[in-house]
Amino acid sequence: MPAPREFAHLGLTFTYPPELSSNQPAFAPAPLLRRPEAAALAAGPTEPAPAEVGVSKRPKTAALAPGPTEPAALAPEAAMVPYRVELSAPSPPPGPATTIEVDIEPCPPRPLMSLALARRLRHGASLEIGEAGPVSISGRTWYRTRYRYQAGDPRPQTALTGVEFALAGEELLYRVTVRGPDAATEDLAARLAPSLRAPPAHQRWRDALSGLGEGRSSPTQPGGWYVSPTESVVAVVAANWTDPADRALLEPAAVGTGVVVTADGVVLTSFHVVYDERRRRLHDLVLLGRSRAGVLDFVCAGTPARDQPERARDLARVRCTMDMSGQPLAPTPWPAARAAEVFWEAPAQPAWILGYPEATAGALDTRRGRLTRARAGDDLLTTEARVDPGFSGGPAVNEQGALLGIVIGYRDRVELERGEVRRIRIGLVRPLANPGHAGPGATTSTPSSAPRDD
């Protein structure tokens, strides 16, 4: 019986069955292929997605080209990143092949978010996340995602399974994905996983995975709640083109939360989530997502409107115009939240804040705390509920789930207690009277220090 073969490149190694390379064993570098899905988002909903979109100058994609029966040496330029190689197993026609795809690229600031976006852009509306979570393999923590999708262009389409293993190292993001028919994919992924080896994970990767499942509370939703945590509250991810000249690849740049405030899909969030302070302009695209099985699932995209009348109050309104394939978004009703009054004379009132903290990789989080008035004459409420990066733009709701305001960030307050210095995080909430229209007219003053959470 032929011995398994070994893949080894840029610190990543694993073994795979010899039949996966019997027909195409030679590694050959190839240029980076632009993603037609991302190009479709660049074109917008009024233009059809291009069938082919050329190549760029950076090496990334490496396919197994027909060649000899033994693997050829990697060409020098193949050691560059981004890098891709695909191993395909022969399959009796017309059945789909089982493949292993290897992607090695510079590690993005938000690797879990980038992975979720890449899956959705590739498989479009057919993507269904099955399960996801960290797994320990030989002392390294990988993130394993199992999903299903439809393949075929355009018909007939076949239901296939994907199992993705990802790890973010100090400089590189490693991703090994098995795709194909259900049984064959599960079997190959189970055989491949124990052999995975990679350099030590980056600290931010370890922190992100260790935060999964922490700090979440899941209140039983009372029947009178107006805000549906699974539908009205959405993740807001601002993204930019990595190369504005060709608009081939999207990179998440800021993460926040939003709440649907009108039935036609207007989402209220924090202005600083959609504004790129470094470039002094709005981000290129805003992607909206929801938590599905604890994983962020992108559902639609749009370009932030230039006219943002509530910018001074750190509020912004965004709306999707296209699905994740770049096609016009079908007009369907959105589950809008309903507003409640804020009773200023009350010293405090219990409330919940809802958001998509970065540490949970797309799981909706709910936290309880009291809302109080910040200070006289200031159009702000404060909350003792912990506000972490990603909560900006999320709703604060009362015990009945009615919308009270929008989280716009936090401030840290330093206190001296028994000779010890304590840093206390104070969440900031902008109160709302009518979220579907212009903000309340109490005041449009801006806090002396602009709050930020990302």
Confidence label for 153 from pLDDT (cuts 50, 70 and 90): low
The CATH number of whichever domain residue 313 belongs to comes to 2.40.10.120
Residue ending a domain, among 210, 243, 275, is 210
Lowest mean pLDDT among 82-96, 329-343, 411-425: 82-96
Clarify whether residues 163 and 278 are in a common domain.
no
Exposed/middle/buried for 417, CB within 10 Å: 0-12, 13-18, 19+? exposed
pTM: 0.74
In this structure, are residues 240 and 276 in contact, taking their beta carbons and an 8 Å threshold? yes
Clarify whether residues 156 and 234 are in a common domain.
no
In a domain, 215, yes or no: no
Clarify whether residues 101 and 68 are in a common domain.
yes
In this structure, are residues 307 and 26 in contact, taking their beta carbons and an 8 Å threshold? no
Clarify whether residues 319 and 409 are in a common domain.
yes
The CATH number of whichever domain residue 52 belongs to comes to 3.40.1000.10
pLDDT tens digits along 235-284: 999 998 877 666 667 788 899 999 999 999 999 999 999 999 988 999 99
Contacts of 374 (CB under 8 A, 6+ apart): 380, 381, 382, 428
Q: pLDDT value at position 414?
A: 77
pLDDT tens digits along 2-36: 788 888 888 999 998 887 753 333 333 333 333 44
Clarify whether residues 267 and 198 are in a common domain.
no
Lowest mean pLDDT among 89-103, 113-127, 228-242, 418-432: 89-103
In a domain, 350, yes or no: yes
- Going by C-alpha positions, the residue among 261, 259, 247, 253 that lies closest to residue 40 is 247
Count of domains observed in the chain: 2
Tokens of 50: 């291009």
Residue with the bigger pLDDT between 374 and 55: it is 374
In a domain, 67, yes or no: yes
Tokens of 415: 């206190």
Clarify whether residues 247 and 337 are in a common domain.
yes
Q: pLDDT value at position 364?
A: 84
- Assign 3-class secondary structure to 344-370: CCCCCEEEEEEECCHHHCCCCEEEEEE
Query: In whole angstroms, what is the distance from residue 363 CA to residue 210 CA?
Result: 14
Q: Which of 84-88, 97-101, 423-427, 432-436 has the highest mean pLDDT?
A: 97-101
Q: Which of 210-214, 358-362, 413-417 has the highest mean pLDDT?
A: 413-417
Question: How is residue 190 annotated by DSSP?
Answer: H
Clarify whether residues 137 and 285 are in a common domain.
no
pLDDT tens digits along 296-310: 888 899 988 888 888
CB neighbourhood size of 354 (10 A): 22
Residue 332 belongs to domain spanning: 223-454
Confidence label for 217 from pLDDT (cuts 50, 70 and 90): very low
Whether residue 319 has pLDDT greater than 50: yes
In a domain, 289, yes or no: yes
Residue with the bigger pLDDT between 326 and 194: it is 194
Lowest mean pLDDT among 86-95, 157-166, 195-204, 352-361: 86-95
Residue ending a domain, among 153, 177, 210, is 210
Query: In whole angstroms, what is the distance from residue 388 CA to residue 371 CA?
Result: 17
Confidence label for 113 from pLDDT (cuts 50, 70 and 90): confident
Whether residue 84 has pLDDT greater than 90: no
Confidence label for 228 from pLDDT (cuts 50, 70 and 90): low
Clarify whether residues 205 and 233 are in a common domain.
no
Over residues 34-48, mean pLDDT: 52
Clarify whether residues 118 and 233 are in a common domain.
no
Residue with the bigger pLDDT between 48 and 209: it is 209
In this structure, are residues 410 and 425 in contact, taking their beta carbons and an 8 Å threshold? yes
Residue with the bigger pLDDT between 134 and 361: it is 134
Percent of the chain with pLDDT over 90: 30
In a domain, 216, yes or no: no
Confidence label for 52 from pLDDT (cuts 50, 70 and 90): very low
Q: If residue 102 lies in a helix (H) or strand (E), which one and from where to where? A: strand 99-106
Confidence label for 161 from pLDDT (cuts 50, 70 and 90): very high
Q: pLDDT value at position 1?
A: 62
Whether residue 46 has pLDDT greater than 70: no
Q: pLDDT value at position 141?
A: 93
Query: In whole angstroms, what is the distance from residue 28 CA to residue 127 CA?
Result: 30
Q: pLDDT value at position 440?
A: 34
Clarify whether residues 165 and 239 are in a common domain.
no
In a domain, 124, yes or no: yes
Whether residue 194 has pLDDT greater than 90: yes
Clarify whether residues 262 and 374 are in a common domain.
yes
In a domain, 77, yes or no: yes
Lowest mean pLDDT among 22-36, 223-237, 316-330: 22-36
Q: pLDDT value at position 259?
A: 94
In a domain, 450, yes or no: yes
Look-up: residue for tokens 């579907």? 436
Residue with the bigger pLDDT between 33 and 219: it is 219
Clarify whether residues 227 and 291 are in a common domain.
yes
Q: pLDDT value at position 83?
A: 83
Whether residue 288 has pLDDT greater than 50: yes
Confidence label for 44 from pLDDT (cuts 50, 70 and 90): low
Confidence label for 392 from pLDDT (cuts 50, 70 and 90): very high
Residue ending a domain, among 151, 179, 210, is 210
Confidence label for 72 from pLDDT (cuts 50, 70 and 90): very low
Q: pLDDT value at position 377?
A: 63
